[in-house]
Homo-oligomer: A and B are copies of this chain.
Amino acid sequence: MQLGLSVSDSDVSSFTPLVVLELADDTKAEAITWLLNRIRDKQQNGGAELLVNQLLFPAQDDQKPNPNVFVVGSTLQRLLNGAEDVGLFKEFQDGTMRGFTYANRESFKDFNGDGEGFLSDAECQYIIKHELDTLRAKNEEHVPGYPKLKLYPGKSVVRRLQSKGVLIQYFPLHNKEDLKRLSFSWYKKFKLSLQPLDDIRHYFGEGLALYFGFLEYFTFALVPMALIGIPYYLFDWEDYDKYVLFAVFNLVWSTVFLEVWKRCSATLAYGWGTLSRKKAFEEPRAGFHGALGFNPVTGREEPVYPSSKRQLRIYLVSVPFVLLCLYLSFYVMMVYFDMEFWAINIYNENPDIATSILLFVPSIIYAVVIEIMNLLYRFAAEFLTDWENHRLESSFQNHLVLKVLVFNFVNCFASLFYIAFVMQDMVLLRQSLATLLITSQILNQVMEAFLPYWLQRRRNKKVHKRMRRLMGDKELPLLGQVQLETEMNTYLGTFDDYLEQFLLFGYVSLFSCVYPLAAVLVVLNNITEVYSDAFKMCHVFKRPFSEPAMNIGVWQLAFETMSIIAVVTNCALIGLSPQVKAYFPESDTQLILIVVAIEHVLLAFKFILAFVIPDVPKHIQVNLAKLEFDSLEALKKRVILRIAFI
Residues of A within 8 A of B (CB): 43-44, 81, 84-85, 102-103, 280-281, 296-299, 568, 588-589, 592-593, 596, 600, 622, 625-626, 628-629, 632, 636, 639-640, 642-644
Given contacts A44-B644, A81-B643, A643-B81, are A629 and B298 in contact (CB under 8 A)? yes
CB within 8 A of A639: which of B84, B568, B636? B84
Closest CB of chain B to A296's CB: distance in Å?
5
CB within 8 A of A628: which of B281, B589, B592? B281
Chain B contacts for A632, CB-based, 8 A: 280-281
CB within 8 A of A589: which of B85, B592, B625, B644? B592
Chain B contacts for A43, CB-based, 8 A: 640, 643-644
CB within 8 A of A636: which of B44, B85, B625? B85
Given contacts A588-B589, A589-B588, are A44 and B596 in contact (CB under 8 A)? no
Closest CB of chain B to A95's CB: distance in Å?
14
B298 contacts A44, C-beta separation under 8 Å? no
Report Cα–Cα, A440/B298, bound state, in Å.
Answer: 54
CB within 8 A of A625: which of B281, B588, B628? B281
5 cross-chain pairs, A with B, having the tightest CB-CB distances, nearest first: A297-B625, A588-B589, A297-B626, A296-B622, A281-B629
Chain B contacts for A629, CB-based, 8 A: 281, 297-298
CB within 8 A of A592: which of B103, B593, B644? B593
Report Cα–Cα, A296/B618, bound state, in Å.
Answer: 11
Chain B contacts for A280, CB-based, 8 A: 632
Report Cα–Cα, A623/B51, bound state, in Å.
Answer: 38
Given contacts A281-B632, A596-B596, are A622 and B297 in contact (CB under 8 A)? yes
A-B contact pairs, 12 of them (CB 8 A): A43-B640, A43-B644, A44-B640, A81-B639, A102-B639, A281-B629, A281-B632, A296-B622, A297-B625, A298-B626, A592-B592, A596-B596
Closest CB of chain B to A292's CB: distance in Å?
18
Residue of B nearest to A591 (CB): B589
Residue of B nearest to A103 (CB): B642
Chain B contacts for A103, CB-based, 8 A: 642
Chain B contacts for A297, CB-based, 8 A: 622, 625-626, 629
CB within 8 A of A85: which of B102, B600, B639? B639
Chain B contacts for A84, CB-based, 8 A: 639
Chain B contacts for A296, CB-based, 8 A: 622, 626
Report Cα–Cα, A639/B296, bound state, in Å.
Answer: 25
Given contacts A281-B629, A592-B589, are A568 and B640 in contact (CB under 8 A)? no
Chain B contacts for A626, CB-based, 8 A: 296-299
Chain B contacts for A81, CB-based, 8 A: 639, 643
Chain B contacts for A85, CB-based, 8 A: 636, 639
Chain B contacts for A299, CB-based, 8 A: 626
Report Cα–Cα, A299/B626, bound state, in Å.
Answer: 9
Report Cα–Cα, A164/B295, bound state, in Å.
Answer: 57
Report Cα–Cα, A642/B85, bound state, in Å.
Answer: 12
Report Cα–Cα, A593/B576, bound state, in Å.
Answer: 13
- Contacts A84-B639, A298-B626 known; list 20 others, CB within 8 Å: A43-B644, A44-B640, A81-B639, A85-B636, A85-B639, A103-B642, A280-B632, A281-B625, A281-B632, A296-B622, A297-B622, A297-B625, A297-B626, A299-B626, A568-B600, A589-B589, A592-B592, A592-B593, A592-B596, A596-B596
